[in-house]
Structure formats: C-alpha cells, structure tokens
Amino acid sequence: MALDPSRTVAELRELRELTGDADGAQRVAWTDTWERAREWLRGKLDGIRADETVDAAGNQWFTLRGDSERALLIGGHLDSVPNGGWLDGALNVVAGAEVLRRFASEGTPPLTVRLVNWADEEGARFGRSLFGSSAAAGSMADQDEIRERTDSNGIRWVNALAEHGVDLDRALDARAELEGAAAYLELHIEQGPVLEAMDLPLGVVLGTFGVERHQVTFRGQAAHAGSTPMDKRRDALAGAAKLELEIREVAKRTGGGAVCTMGGVVTKPGIVTSVVETAECVLDQRHLDAVTLASMLAEAKDASERFARDEGVKVEWSRIWNIDPILFDAELIELADESIREVAGTSHRLPSGPLHDAAEVSRAGVPTVMLFVQSLRGLSHTKLEDTKPEHLELSVQALDRLASKTLARLTE
C-alpha cells in the first residue's frame, strides 16, 4: 500500500467531526471525548500488523515489530485545548499512522517502527503540560504537586488519571518505552507566522527555546498627584515603562530569533490621584542558545538598575521559572532538510518558541528532530487554526521521506 497523503487530510477532517463542535476541537486529555479520539485511532490502525499498548502514563503506542528491537519513534498528541484547532498535535499522529501503514504494507522493517500518541501534551485541564512524554522521559519530578492539583470543577487529577487507567505512583514506569529508541520524529504545525511570511510550506526545527521568566518589581513612593512636583517624584511605573521599551531593543540587538515580552504590569496603589509606588512586571525572555539567553537576561537586569537609579526607585528580580534550550540532533536535522527539499524544493531552519513532546524525548537522550508545516495567519489554540490541504499533504510526504532516510541511516 503506497503512501496516501490525501487520506491523512480526510482522516483529520473525520476526527474533527467526531471530536469537535462549533467552537473547535474538544479533545481535552482525560475526558470522554479524548478517549473517543483514542478509540478512533485504534480503529484506524486495526487492519495492520501493529500491536497496540497503553503505557503506565497513559501514552498510546502502536508497534510494528522489525528485525531489530531498536526502534524508530514517530509521535504526536491527540489531546487539544478546549475550543482548540483541528491540527495541533493531531496532524503528527494521523500522518504518523499513514507512515506506519506504508511500512506495514512493505513487510518486516529492519528496525521496529512505533507510533506514539502522547497523553496530555497540552495540560489544558490541570495546568501542567507534557504529562505523558515527561513520564516516559523520566524528567517528571513533581508528582507531589500533581497529586494536589484539581480542575476548575474541583475534580482531583489523580482521580481523573485513575478513571483512564493511570496510577500516578507508577507513571514513571513509562520510561521503559524509550529503552531501545534510536530516533524520534515529530511533525507539527508551526503555530507561528514565519513560514507563511516566507511563502514556504515546510521547515526543520533546530530545537526549542530556553526560557527565563522573572517577576521584576520597581518600588518608589506613593505621593499626591496634585501636590508632588514632577522633579520630586519616585515613580515606580517610570522604571517599568522604560524597561518595557528597552527589552524590545535587547531582543532586536541579540537577534537569532530572540524574543522578550513584558506580559503584564500591576501598579499600586493604582489610582489616578497617586504616583505609582510599586510596579510589578512579569518578563519572559527566550532564545535557542543558552549563553545568549543568559546575556539577554544580564542586559535586562543592568538596564533595570540604570532606570531605577535615574528614577530614584528600587528594583528587585525574582525568578518565576526557567528551562534550558533543547537542541535537536544535527544529523537528523540534515536528513529533515533533505526530505523537505525533495518534496517542496526549498527548506528553512527555524527554532520553536512553544515546547513540544519532542523536547522531553530529546532531553531523555534520544536523537530527535521536528518538522514544521506552515500555519495560516500563525494562529493556533483556536478554531481558526488552519493549514492549506496541499501543505498538509506535502508534510505527510516529508515525514514519510524522513522516516525512510532515518531508518536507512540507522541500519547502515
């Protein structure tokens, strides 16, 4: 059976009908709708020689045994955010199913080929992303917090997990699944505007951004808006405002995809008749290179101290969260580039701003690469999320080529 990329598009539409409504995709992990999507996938792969298993973290695997136990993994996630898009996550699973069918029709592959549908990539219901992949990667270390988490209706996560056959105490047993994994491939929609702006259907992902997230608090003095002359003020918001403009320059000067975002500022007392006493800012900085990210952070800190001195206020920094950049495998990046050029003529290399299951797998030491396909208007996590059908078909072809090239390289 030859690869049929148009079938992937038809199946994605079928899945949208089955698990979405007028507001978008409703495949939130650990719900009946999500379970229906998993059953649907099971049905789609029923006729081929792949064995289905669900691991200790709820990840759904389809294994096509090869001559060797070493395995090529292709993965994605069928879960979505509430009112989500039809492609985020699902594209990689459904395209992966097509590639698996193609391998199955050609007899026993030299290596084992496995499709994985990761459980709860989005973290939409309980507020913690990458559940299944972080368990399989062995990086999950927050079981105590997970135990305490509830959804907006007060339902405990542990109970929701148990309803779907997952015992949190055993979730890390999923690590066994990555033993023998020789490579991991993931196709995903870009969820950003870069490929569309370049008029290119496909790109190779170099890795996922490192992130530095901080609360930056400027402290001045509240004073009457009428009686305090302009040169006698210690205005905390002035420091925050200058920093907001400066971080844009930091990102511009740094380049290489650097982004800095001041996502919010809370001022106190926050009334029209007072100079601002405290301005609490939340700052997010991202880059693919760890050293560069550290210097972006240092630049922002220096600037904040300079602005604080200028305005006669104080500034304090406290870290909210951070993660190191994760770089994908150099050899697989080359193969991915080659695959894209063969099906689409031109390739492009770009970093990923959002995290993906691929980052967890890569962190676990499995050589990993991702392909991005263009997103229309850069939108995702909304029912407006879309990609042209011809680009979806090209992406299935590129994934298939990449899988074949990777298999050939691993058996050399």
| Contact positions vs Zn ion (CB under 5 A) | 88-89
Rounded Cα distance between 194 and 180, Å, is 35
Count Cβ atoms below 10 Å from residue 175 Cβ, excluding itself: 18
Q: Which is nearer to Zn ion, 77 or 286 (CB)?
A: 77
Select 191 or 217, whichever has its Cβ closest to Zn ion.
Answer: 191
Residue nearest to Zn ion (CB): 89
Minimum distance of Zn ion from residue 116's CB (angstroms): 13
- Of residues 66 and 89, the one with the C-beta less far from Zn ion: 89
Are the beta carbons of 231 and 348 closer than 8 angstroms? no
Query: Which residue lies nearer to Zn ion by CB, 188 or 219?
Result: 188
H or E stretch at 297: helix 290-311
- Going through 66-110 in order, the beta strands assigned E by DSSP cover 68-76
State the CB neighbour count (10 A cutoff) for residue 13.
Answer: 12
Q: Which is nearer to Zn ion, 246 or 357 (CB)?
A: 357
Nearest approach in angstroms of CB 304 to Zn ion is 34
CB of 228 to Zn ion, least distance (A): 51
**All residues at 6 or more sequence positions from 215 whose CB lies less than 8 Å from its CB, including other chains:** 280, 281, 282, 283, 317, 318, 320
Q: Minimum CB separation from Zn ion for residue 189, in Å?
A: 8
- Gap between the Cα atoms of 309 and 332, Å rounded: 49
Residue 29 to residue 137: CA distance in whole angstroms:
19
When the beta carbons of 233 and 381 are compared against Zn ion, the nearer one is: 381
Task: Give least dist CB 110 to Zn ion, A.
Answer: 30
Nearer to Zn ion, 134 or 267 (CB): 134
Q: From residue 212, give the alpha-carbon distance in Å to each of 163, 267, 288, 394.
A: 36, 22, 12, 35
Q: Which residue has the tokens 């496995």?
A: 114
- State the minimum distance, in angstroms, from the CB of residue 121 to Zn ion: 5
Residue 321: CB minimum distance to Zn ion, A: 20
Written as one string, the DSSP assignment of 227-261 is TS-GGG---HHHHHHHHHHHHHHHHHHH-TT-EEE
